[in-house]
Amino acid sequence: MAGHAPSRRRPPAATPKRDDAPGLPARRLAADVIDEVLRARVALDETIERMLPEAGLDAADAGLARAIAVTAFRRLGTIQQAIDERLDRGSPRQSGPFEPILTAAAAQILFLDVPDHAAVDLAIRHLHEDARSARYASLGNAVLRRLVRERDAVLAESRADAFRDTPDWLAESWHDAYGAETAAAIAASHREEPPLDITVKADPAHWAEALGGVALPTGSVRLRERRAIAELPGFAEGAWWVQDAAAALPARLLAARPGERIADLCAAPGGKTAQLAAAGAEVTALDRSAPRLRRLKANLARLGLTAEVVTADAANWKAEPFDAVLLDAPCSATGTIRRHPDVAWTKTPEDRDRLAGLQARLLDAAATLTKPGGRLVYCTCSLEAQEGEAQITAFLARHPQFRRGPVEPAEIGGLAEAIDANGDIRTLPHQLSGETARLSGWAGFYATRLIRL
C-alpha cells in the first residue's frame, strides 16, 4: 500500500461475478472511486459525479459511498500504514482491486459508524467478485479482522502522529513556511469534517437565526448542522450561496462600488463574481472553461444577479482596463484539503511549480487590465508560499508601477491573525475558533491587494 502511481484506469475484472448483497453496491462505488482518484489523480467530487449514474444507487447508498471515499482520503495515511503493518509480506502483486477494497473497508472500521461485521463481510464478498483479488480474500479477511481487534491502538498511534495523514512534501512545505507548531495544527484541522459556510446578499444576522447558524465576524454565516442545501430557507429565492468564509475575503478587499467596471478573470463557478455583482459592480466574469461558466450562469440566475460572461484564456485576453481586477488564480488548492481531502493525495510539488508559472503569466495579464489608480486583488486557495507570498514578491519586482494596499483588520472583522507582516491576507485552516472543532477553522487562502500607480 505504499501509494499508487498514476496510471490508466484499471481494466475490468477478469471474471465479473456480481454479488447482490445489500450495501455492497455502495462499497463497490467507494472502492472504484478511491482507485480511480489515486490512479488518474483526478478530483474526488468529479469522479463520484461521473461514476454515480452507472452505479444506480439510491440516495442513502450514494451518501454512504461518498462518506466512505471522503473518509478514506481524509485518513489515508493512517489507513495505508495500518494495513501495511498487517500485511507481513507487503501488498500482493497482481491482486486487482485488493488495495482499494481494503482501504474502503478500513475507512469504515476505523472511522465510520458502520457495524464491523458489515464492513468486513461486504469487503470479502467484494474481493470475491474479481478473480485477481479473490485469491487474496482470506488474507484480506485476516487483515480486516485484526483492524477490528486492534482499532483502539491504531487510532491512538494516529492521534499521536500529527502528520500521519499528510504527505511528506506538504508537511515539509508547511513546516518551512509556518514552523513546526503551526504545520501540526494545520494537519490536525484537516482531520475534522469541514463546516458549511454561506455568503448572504444581505443581513447575515437574520440568516444566521433563520438557518440555525452563527454570523461570523467577517460577514459569512456558518451553519451548525449539515442539511440538504437546496431545501434550506432562502436557497430557492437566491438569498445566499455556499462559500467558505475564507474564500469570501478576497472579493471584500476590492470594496466594489455600484457602477464600477470589475473584471473577475478566473471566475467560475462564480462565488466571487456573485459577491461583486451583489455589491452593484458591472462585472465581467471570464473563465477558460465553458462547462464551468455554464455553472456560473446557473448560479447567477438563481441569485438574480447579472454579469457579462466571457469564455477566454485570461493570459492573452485584451480589453479596456478596468477600475478593479480580481485574479483568483488556478492553484494546487492545498488550502482546501479539509473540504477536499483527495487534494493532498492527488497534487504533487510538480503541479505546484507548474501552476506557479501559470499564475505569474496570469498576473502579468491582470496588470495590463488594471487602470492607473485601480485595484488588483490576487488570491489562491493554496497554503504554498510559491503560489502566494513569493509570487507577489516576484510580481512587484517585475511591475514597479504597482504597490501593496495593505489590508486593515477592520476590513475582515478584526481578525488580525489572518493578516501577515506585509498587510496581505494569509488564512490558515486552524484559525477562526468556534463552538466545537467541527465549527472552527476555514480554508487556507492567500490574498493581496495591489494598487496601480
Judge residue 121's burial from the number of C-beta atoms within 10 Å of its C-beta, 0-12 exposed, 13-18 middle, 19 or more buried. middle
Q: How far apart are CA 224 and CA 214, in angstroms?
A: 7
CB of 445 to ligand SAM, least distance (A): 10
Helix/strand/coil percent split, the chain, to 5:
45, 15, 40
Task: State which of residues 27, 75, 190, 272 lies at the interface with ligand SAM (CB under 6 A).
Answer: 272
Catalytic entry in 196, 283, 381, 418:
381
Out of 203, 237, 313, 364, name the contact with ligand SAM by CB under 6 A. 313
DSSP 386: G
Query: Between residues 119 and 276, which has the closer beta carbon with respect to ligand SAM?
Result: 276
Out of 127, 187, 314, 366, which residue is the one contacting ligand SAM (CB under 6 A)?
A: 314
Q: How far are the Cα atoms of 22, 78, 237, 246 from residue 27, in angstroms, in the given order?
A: 10, 19, 37, 34
With 0-12 / 13-18 / 19 or more C-beta atoms within 10 angstroms meaning exposed / middle / buried, residue 358 is: middle
Contact assessment for residue 340 and residue 43, using Cβ atoms and an 8 Å cutoff:
yes
Closest listed residue to residue 448, CA positions, set 283, 313, 326: 326
Q: Does 267 bind ligand SAM (CB under 6 A)?
A: yes
363 binds ligand SAM (CB under 6 A): no
Residue 43 sits in the site that holds ligand SAM (CB under 6 A): no
Only segment of 22-30, 112-120, 232-240, 269-277 that touches ligand SAM (CB under 6 A): 269-277
Q: How far is the CB of 51 from ligand SAM (least distance, A)?
A: 22
CA-to-CA dists, residue 216 to 137, 146, 176, 204, 223, angstroms? 50, 44, 30, 9, 10
User: Residue 331 catalytic?
Assistant: no
Closer CB to ligand SAM, residue 52 or residue 315? Answer: 315
HSE, side-chain direction, 13 A CA sphere, residue 39: 16
State in angstroms the smallest separation of the CB of 377 from ligand SAM. Answer: 11
C-beta of 364: minimal distance to ligand SAM in Å? 12
The H or E element spanning position 261 is strand 261-264
d(CA 324, CA 237): 29
In the list 269, 335, 374, 444, the residue contacting ligand SAM (rule: CB under 6 A) is 269
Per CB under 6 A, 323 contacts ligand SAM: no
Tell me which of 288, 294, 371, 404 binds ligand SAM, using CB under 6 A.
288
Q: Which stretch binds ligand SAM (CB under 6 A): 200-208, 285-293, 413-421, 442-450?
A: 285-293
Distance, in Å, from the CA atom of 98 to the CA atom of 126, rounded to the nearest integer, reads: 9
- Residue 328 found at the interface with ligand SAM (CB under 6 A): yes
- Grid cell locating 389: 507570498
CB nearer to ligand SAM: give 162 or 267.
Answer: 267
300 binds ligand SAM (CB under 6 A): no
According to the binding rule CB under 6 A, does residue 268 interact with ligand SAM? Answer: yes
Q: What is the DSSP letter of 266?
A: S
* Residue 387, phi then psi, degrees to nearest 5: -100, 5
Pairing of the two strands 308-311 and 282-287:
parallel
Task: Supply the minimum distance, in Å, between the C-beta of residue 274 and ligand SAM.
Answer: 8
| Cα four-point dihedral sign 133, 138, 142, 145 | positive
Q: Return the residue of 91, 141, 182, 289 that touches ligand SAM, per CB under 6 A.
A: 289
Q: Which one of 315, 360, 394, 451 is in contact with ligand SAM (CB under 6 A)?
A: 315
CB of residue 150 to ligand SAM, shortest distance in Å: 41
List the grid coordinates of 136.
487474496
Q: Binding site for S-adenosyl-L-methionine: what residues are annotated?
A: 266-272, 287, 328
244 lines the binding site for ligand SAM (CB under 6 A): no
Of 10, 39, 41, 292, which lies in the binding site for ligand SAM, with binding defined by CB under 6 A?
Answer: 292
Neighbours of 54 (CB within 10 A): 9
Active site residues: 381
The residues of the shown chain that bind ligand SAM, judged by CB under 6 A, are 266-272, 287-289, 292, 313-315, 328, 330
